[in-house]
């Protein structure tokens, strides 16, 4: 199992798509740093706080600061999830189509260990990448954010970073499950659409809470049950900004805010969801005639 994990880790690491992703990530981080610098400069030179009360000026500054950092983290999460999808949906189906998997199955290796090995290898690599891009976004904000730099404690960064790193692990399990059942293209389309539904549902749920609209809330809850990625991302935001269930803090977070903290029960559900999906992937591949 660990030999397969090591092999999957190296194969993905040396692929051109991963190299391109790393280079483009560095370009994104450089752009984000420059954007932070000029946004802070413009805020300092042109925004008129003179006519505001101290509390109002502080709220306005916090609002803009949180929006800038949240946009960076939102896009960082999008890149991470997209790279994870591209790396996992073809890892079994692609090898079946090219018959590369015949070499592995000819060895005294259980199919269960093959799937678990791929999960450990791919999931581990994507977790490392997610920690890298999360740390990069925070670092750019702290170095070049100026008045827009958010004051964060080490505890906030560590808790939010760990939650951010769990997101690709869940996507890896789903990607492997689809890869044992469908072709690479079909699995990729389903994953991308599910990702979109999850985040749109999350926004609808927040709007539903603010508007006291039960239908919108239920749409968001249903999307979280089907694909619980948005709940984990919003829990990460709560850990990072440490502002759960505070109306003033909620106002400062804008569209990326969480009107209520995703519960611990939702975290447990997400963990069980991932374990169950991985179990189904193993079961399907064990019974599949390749």
**What is the DSSP code string of 129-187?**
HHHHHHHHHHHHHHHH-GGG-----HHHHHHHHHHHHHHHHHHHHHHHHHHHHS-HHHH
Query: Is 80 exceeded by the pLDDT of residue 63?
Result: no
Of 36-40, 43-47, 286-290, highest mean pLDDT: 36-40
Q: What is the pLDDT of residue 246?
A: 56
Q: What is the pLDDT of residue 48?
A: 65
- Model confidence at 133, pLDDT cuts 50, 70, 90, reads very high
- Model confidence at 31, pLDDT cuts 50, 70, 90, reads very high
Domain range annotation of the chain:
1-287
72-86, 91-105, 129-143, 215-229: segment of lowest average pLDDT: 91-105
Residue 77 tokens read as: 């999460």
In the 8-state DSSP scheme, what is residue 14?
A: T
Can you tell me the mean pLDDT for 161-166? 92
Tell me the pLDDT of the chain averaged across its residues. Answer: 84
Q: pLDDT exceeding 70 applies to what percent of the chain?
A: 89
Query: Is 90 exceeded by the pLDDT of residue 199?
Result: no
Q: pLDDT exceeding 90 applies to what percent of the chain?
A: 30
More confident residue, 251 or 20: 20
Q: Is the pTM of this model over 0.75?
A: yes
Taking the CA atoms of residue 102, residue 103, residue 108 and residue 109 in that order, the dihedral angle to the nearest 10 degrees is -70
């Amino acid at each position: 199992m660990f030999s397969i994990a090591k092999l999957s880790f190296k194969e993905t690491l040396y692929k051109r798509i991963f190299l391109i992703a790393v280079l483009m990530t560095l370009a994104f981080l450089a752009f984000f740093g420059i954007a932070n610098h000029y946004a802070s400069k413009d805020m300092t030179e042109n925004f008129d706080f003179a006519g505001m009360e101290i509390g109002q000026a502080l709220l306005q500054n916090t609002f803009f600061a949180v929006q800038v950092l949240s946009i960076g983290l939102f896009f960082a999460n999008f890149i991470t999830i997209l790279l994870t999808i591209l790396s996992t949906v073809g890892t079994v189906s692609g090898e079946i189509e090219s018959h590369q998997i015949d070499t592995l199955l000819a060895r005294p290796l259980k199919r269960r260990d093959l799937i678990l090995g791929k999960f450990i290898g791919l999931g581990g690599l994507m977790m490392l990448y997610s920690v890298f891009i999360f740390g990069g976004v925070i670092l750019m904000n702290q170095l070049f954010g100026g008045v827009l730099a958010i004051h964060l404690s080490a505890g906030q960064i560590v808790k939010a970073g760990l939650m951010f790193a769990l997101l690709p692990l869940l996507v890896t399990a789903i990607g492997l499950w689809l890869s044992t059942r469908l072709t690479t293209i079909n699995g990729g389309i389903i994953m991308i659409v599910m990702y979109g539904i999850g985040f749109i549902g999350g926004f609808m749920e927040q709007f539903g809470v603010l508007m006291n609209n039960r239908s919108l809330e239920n749409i968001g809850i249903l999307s979280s049950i089907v694909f619980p990625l948005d709940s984990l991302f919003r829990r990460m935001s709560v850990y990072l900004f440490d502002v759960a269930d505070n109306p003033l803090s909620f106002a400062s977070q804008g569209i990326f805010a969480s009107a209520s903290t995703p519960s611990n029960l939702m975290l447990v559900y997400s963990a069980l969801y991932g374990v169950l999906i991985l179990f189904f992937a193993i079961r399907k591949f064990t019974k599949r005639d390749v």
